[in-house]
Amino acid sequence: MTSILTSLSTTKSFGGWIKRYKHHSTSLKCDMVFAIYLPPQAETRTVPVLWWLSGLTCTDENFMQKAGAQRMAAALGIAIVCPDTSPRGLNLPGEHDSYDFGSGAGFYVNATQAPWAEHYRMYDYLTSELPELIKTHFPVNGRESISGHSMGGHGALVLALRQPGRFASVSAFAPIANPSQCPWGQKAFTGYLGDDRSTWQQYDSCALIANSTSTQELFIDQGDADEFLAPQLGADALRAACAQSGQPLIYRTRTGYDHGYFFIASFIDEHLQYHASHLYPAIASD
């Protein structure tokens, strides 16, 4: 049964449209909101999709309002889909007690521990339910790339590494690349997945790279003034895992940039151009 979409807002931007919708998710058993930018080319033909996964505390609105991506997406003819970062409105015990667990912090996993297992199934939502909904309701052509920031960068890498060949390209800004070894990840994985750390490996990019046969290039931007770089992000572990396994990696250190959206806005055009070259090689000349 196709999910019914309720329109929340429609805003024109660079000849295209930013649209927000609410729908009931069968995966998460709650209402969810997502945003989509449809470039002007979508008025006359189908277009490829870039999935953007956001970080801790974010909703679908952060990227659409702060990244400044619409101008380049319109020029390139790429739709951008921004899901939320967790289920909402459930009021589970402890769900709203901290910024790095529960509401706004789904970590893109399928939880196995009570009370989270019934609703916190963001991996299923993003790999199956929401893509099918986008395919059903919008003029997209089946070509997909994925990107994200921080917790969303973790999600983008995990989704791509676990589904080789699905995404034409993958990139991330300051991803949590080794969550099994950092406080944010350890807290989330213990709560959602339990104490058996072997179960964590399916959601840890470094572990997936070490055991993967994927040859897909990873494209990472990281600011060297990021306050979370050493304690949370695992950048050195990511580079070491790629070097050891032969995983292709473009890793760029951005001098003076921190963890925030000014960093993302500074380089989002380069990421969009990178994805366009994989999604639709002739798109820049349309």
Residue 157 contacts residue 218 (beta carbons within 8 Å):
yes
3-class secondary structure, 195: coil
Instruction: Give the residue carrying structure tokens 């000849």.
Output: 15
Rg, C-alpha atoms of the chain: 18
- pLDDT computed for residue 286 by the predictor: 41
- Which ranges of 6-56 does DSSP label H, i.e. alpha helix? none
Residue 9 bridge partners (DSSP): 20
- pLDDT computed for residue 2 by the predictor: 59
pLDDT in tens, 56-65: 999 999 999 9
| List of domains in the chain | 5-279 (3.40.50.1820)
> How sure is the predictor about 285, in pLDDT bands with cuts at 50, 70 and 90?
very low
Catalytically active residues, by annotation = 150, 226, 259
Cα distances from 239 to residues 15, 47, 68, 283, in angstroms, run 39, 33, 29, 31
pTM above 0.85, yes or no: yes
Read off the DSSP letter of residue 2. P
pLDDT in tens, 158-196: 999 999 999 999 999 999 999 999 999 999 999 999 999
Longest dimension (CA), the chain: 53
- pLDDT computed for residue 280 by the predictor: 82
pLDDT in tens, 133-157: 999 999 999 999 999 999 999 999 9
